[in-house]
Every structure is written in structure tokens, then in C-alpha cells.
A and B are shown apart, each in its own frame.
Chain A
């Protein structure tokens, strides 16, 4: 290994933050992912688009360490995620906003945010939380209320803000627009654009392609537990195979034997 090329050739800003290699995920007899390869570089925004049941959630769950791959691996900073404890994935710089947000309804808004800073030991946590309250006055006004009382859109903002408090290098969002009114979704995507501006890499999983296309540097169309089509958003949108990839995957999933 000494003097080997790749170490010297690797440019720090181009090095993959997360590298998914031949990932296979199974739940009992059901195969959710059938060998997925994906790299996300520092500061890059990748959108995963696909119908329900295409395996999108399984992919983010595997990167977050929530599910164990049956084969293949997820490499984070040179470390296999399966060997990192679940609670240490966020310490390696990967934060997840899961589908359904999973805010702690019995805890206050401020407590939810403080939990987001769990991995941190510095004394900037309180100022960071104040900053969030300034940007989202509604969260500030309700800081002492139970987070379960917030509206869906407010909960989504809280969930994203909470994830950002860990100061991630990669933020993963599973269906961030699910169940939200179009105006609220605009707000969510404005926030995501800001986060991208800060140089944080994003992995956004959506059923709804249009929003994610505007944000992403790269899009992968998922179907049937595998990437069907991948490339720059413009190229994908122009690709005549897009409909076939998306809808074909949808129909294939529907008709596929489990």
C-alpha cells in the first residue's frame, strides 16, 4: 500500500462521502434491494426517485445503519457502516430525517432540537438552537410546547432542523414532502436549497420527481430494488426512457412476484 497511487490522486473534495457497493437488502423472503451501487460526494445533492415499494427507504435505512445488508456494503469515510454502531453513524457525519419525521411528540420542541445535538460536545448548541428559532419563529414561539402539537409542516421543519444540529456532512431525507400541502413543500425545498448552499451533501428520496429535480445535481430512478436510470436532472428529464423507467418500474413492481 505504501506509495500507492490512489491516496495521492484522490482529490479531497471529490472523494466519495458515502459509497454504496453491491447493496442487497432482504426482509425475510422479500428482496428490497438487488445490488445497488451509488456514490455521494462531499456537498453533492442526489435525488432518488421511484414509486412506492421500489426500495428507496431500504437504501437510506441501510446507509443510516438501520438495516443490515444481506450482501454488499455501505462505506462511510472508509468504514463499513455495518461495523459502526447505529448511534455512531450520526457521529460519522450522516443524519437521517426518516419518512413520517419521527419527532418525539411527548418532548418539547426545544428538547427535540437538543436531542439533535446529542453527538456534540461543544458549547455552540444553545446559539445554534436560537438561530433555528430566529429562522422559524413558529418553532421559537412553541419551544416549550410538546412537538406532537405542531402541524405536519412544522414537524418536518423541526425534524430537518434537529438533524442539522448534529452538523452532518450528509443529510438524508426520506419523502420530505409526503403528506404536506404544496406551499409547505415549497418551504421545505427552500430550506433544503439553503442547506445545500452550506456545502452539506443531500440524499433526497421522493416519489414526486419535480421538486427533487430542481434541487439535485444527480438523479437516480429507482425501481424494482435497483437503479434503473441515473444522470443529471436535465438529461434524465429529456431521456425518453424516463417514463418507461419510472412507470415501467411501477408496473413491474405491481406485477412482480414477491
Chain B
């Protein structure tokens, strides 16, 4: 009996609503049309149990039909436009992702090639080469055509111990040595140890580095030379800007 009472309640409510809306209507000219739609709604409610028996419930059917109509209609193009905008935004997002992925793969490939070249030409063991690619417009006039450009190269040489420094030197010594030697010749060899950014760290601890300065000289100049040759080679072979190449020692 519950479905009967629910159905009756629905029918009564719809009829009351319909009469109320009849009162609310602004003018006579619309009346016939509104009455037609209202009577159709009442009919739909009356037929509700029957429709539910044959197919699914009329309310869900109606909502599906109305949403379908909304999508097709020109008058409610706002919703469709929103969808289109969403699609466009998603498309551009996916495009950016793909671009980034492509650049990453290309960068890895280039890095591999650079590593091989460095090892062949200089005989210096290379721990890792990182290449950052970025897209830049081909020419000023057409901004949609972009070509990848190598924006930064980081060559990481093996750490002090791995490169065959004498065994009695401690790790800390090796690091301070490199920094001490590099400062006067103004090469941006960076050491990334725990001490933080190179110059500030080395000047703040002069007592540590000062004591090893004589031993540092040979090792440091050696590294600088190596890094300079690597940099020159990369700059000439890959047509790069010198400032975009960074040669580092591996952080301990």
C-alpha cells in the first residue's frame, strides 16, 4: 500500500501545484500552452506506476530526456560551451604534458651522447650528465612553431675519492680543496656538499680550507682544467653558450 499512498500524494501535489501556477501566470496569452504542459505533467504522474512497470521510473526518464534536449538545444548553448572549454583546457594540458615528456626523453638521449663524447675525447670519467631542454620559438614572427633548445647542461664528475685522489685525504678536505682552488680563477664549478652554496660556505670557514691550501692547489687546478676542457668541447660540439654548461663534482 505504500506505493499507492506515495502515488496519490504525488498526484495531489502536482494538481495543487498546477492550479497554483495557473494563478501565478502573468497573462492569458500563454495560458493555453502552459495548461497543455501542466496537463501532460499530470498525465505523466497518473501514468507513473504503469510506466515504471514497463520501463524505468518516469522521473529519471524525463530527466534523461531533458538533459539530452539541453545538450542539443542552441538556446542552452552555455552548457555545451562550458564543455567545449573544458575539453580545450584538458587538451592543452595533455599537450603540455606530452611536450614535457618528449623534452625529457630527448634530454636524456642528448645527455647519453654527451657523456660518451666526453669520455671518448678527454678520457675523463663522468658520473652523470644532465641536460635541460626548453622550447623556444623558431623565429619572432611565428610563435606557434617551436624548436627545442638546450638551456642548461650539468656535467657531474666523480667525487674526490673516486677520481683517484690520494687515500690519506679526508672527504671534508677534498671538498674544501676544490672550492679553495676555484675561487681565484672565477669558474663556476660548484660543489654541492652539505655545506651549501660554494662561495659563502668556503669564506665562512677559512680556517678549515686555509690549512690544506698547498695540497689543494694541484688537485683544484687539475679539476678546473678538466672542467674547462669538457666545457669547451661541449660548447664547440653542441653549439652551446658557455654559461649554460656547468661542471660539478659529485656531492659526497
Tell me whether A and B are bound partners: no
B residues adjacent to A (C-beta < 8 A): none
Interface residues of A (CB under 8 A from B): none
